[in-house]
């Protein structure tokens, strides 16, 4: 019984980097579209009795990539793979983890059900928007953190500098505290509140950031509005510089223009989502790879050894 890696179309470069780290080839397969955009999958190698890892983020176009994931899982199950691990470096729909109002869905739970029903035996993901989403799955689910990779980069860049870790909102305080502990740094919080309808948000900075190199940390940067506004508030409070370290660079809509024109020195993201051409062309955005982290976790799962030490 061996280990195989199958790549979906969402992030082939990351899958190739994982395979290179593990010194093994990607499984040959065709993932195509019929003329009406139906997904068709054909696996060109024998996977009977194999431990198969399917690498597929569910970023934009989220529904296409989600359907690819489900059809690939079904193809593997019908080809008698011994175990199918869905490797989702970025888990789409994670922001819909509760009912924000009446008559709204909990789509993260629906997606978890779909992945399980399709035939996945376990899930490996990274930096879930809400940790409790692990409980939405009825199969083993490992939630890795990009923090060790990002902290390593942070330590190289900010060695010897007065650094402060900043949460861009109240909800990210636990994450900021974890970064600060590893960096032996203080934390600050940007408290965002809207005084009344139709009036712009007021950014209050909790903590003294004057003369500090501030690092905003978050799990997702989407349109970039909150991040750029938080950076501006920090500079107004006397911060020496502001940068951001984010696990998932969703970067939709006006995000690139906002970041390019912001007061931030740079935004560091991982390759959990395939960097677009616009991302590569933006000087202020830098990408670090989580391929070794994911590869190491996959190797440990395949050999039935502990994955928990990777969380440190």
- pLDDT tens for the chain, 312 residues: list them: 589 999 999 999 999 999 999 999 999 999 999 999 999 999 999 999 999 999 999 999 999 999 999 999 999 999 999 999 999 999 999 999 999 889 999 999 999 999 999 999 999 999 999 889 999 999 999 999 999 999 999 999 998 899 999 999 888 999 999 999 999 999 999 987 755 554 446 678 999 999 999 999 999 999 998 899 999 999 999 999 999 999 999 999 899 999 999 999 999 999 999 999 889 889 999 999 999 999 999 999 999 999 988 776
- Which residue positions form the known binding site for ATP? 36-38, 95-96
- Which residue positions form the known binding site for D-ribose 5-phosphate? 194, 218, 222-226
Three-point CA angle 54, 99, 224, nearest 5°: 65
Q: How many CB atoms sit inside 10 A of residue 148's CB?
A: 14
How far apart CA 228 and CA 232 sit, in angstroms, is 6
Tell me how far apart the 2 most distant CA atoms of the chain are, in Å: 62
How far apart CA 58 and CA 49 sit, in angstroms, is 27
What is the dihedral sign for C-alpha 122, 5, 31, 270? positive
- Residues noted as catalytic: 192
Q: What are phi and psi of 255, to 5 degrees?
A: -55, -45
Three-point CA angle 289, 168, 284, nearest 5°: 45
Regarding pTM above 0.85, the answer is yes
How far apart CA 199 and CA 202 sit, in angstroms, is 9
């Amino acid at each position: 019984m061996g280990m195989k890696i199958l790549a979906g179309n969402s992030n082939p470069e990351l899958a190739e980097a994982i395979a290179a780290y593990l010194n093994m080839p990607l499984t040959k397969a065709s993932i195509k579209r019929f003329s009406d955009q139906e997904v068709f999958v054909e696996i060109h190698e024998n996977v009977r009795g194999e431990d198969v890892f399917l690498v597929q983020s569910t970023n934009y176009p989220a529904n296409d990539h989600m359907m690819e994931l489900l059809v690939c899982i079904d193809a593997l199950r019908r080809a008698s793979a011994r175990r199918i691990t869905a490797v989702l470096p970025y888990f789409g729909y994670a922001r819909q983890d509760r009912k924000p109002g009446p008559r709204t869905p909990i789509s993260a739970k629906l997606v978890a059900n779909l992945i399980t029903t399709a035939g996945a035996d376990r899930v490996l993901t990274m930096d879930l928007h809400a940790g409790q989403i692990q409980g939405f799955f009825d199969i083993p689910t490992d939630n890795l953190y990009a923090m060790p990779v990002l902290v390593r980069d942070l330590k190289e860049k900010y060695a010897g500098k007065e650094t402060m870790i900043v949460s861009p909102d109240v909800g990210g305080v636990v994450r900021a505290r974890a970064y600060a502990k590893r960096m032996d740094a203080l934390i600050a919080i940007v408290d965002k509140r809207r005084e009344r309808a139709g009036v712009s948000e007021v950014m209050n900075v909790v903590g003294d950031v004057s003369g500090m190199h501030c690092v905003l940390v978050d799990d997702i940067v989407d349109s970039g509005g909150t991040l750029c506004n938080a950076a501006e508030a920090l500079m107004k409070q006397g911060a020496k510089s502001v940068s951001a370290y984010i696990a998932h660079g969703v970067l939709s809509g006006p995000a690139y223009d906002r970041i390019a024109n912001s007061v931030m020195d740079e935004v560091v993201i991982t390759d959990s989502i395939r960097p677009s051409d616009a991302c590569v062309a933006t000087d202020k955005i830098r990408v670090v790879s989580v391929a070794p982290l994911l590869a190491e976790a996959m190797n440990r799962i395949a050999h039935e050894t502990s994955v928990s030490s990777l969380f440190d």
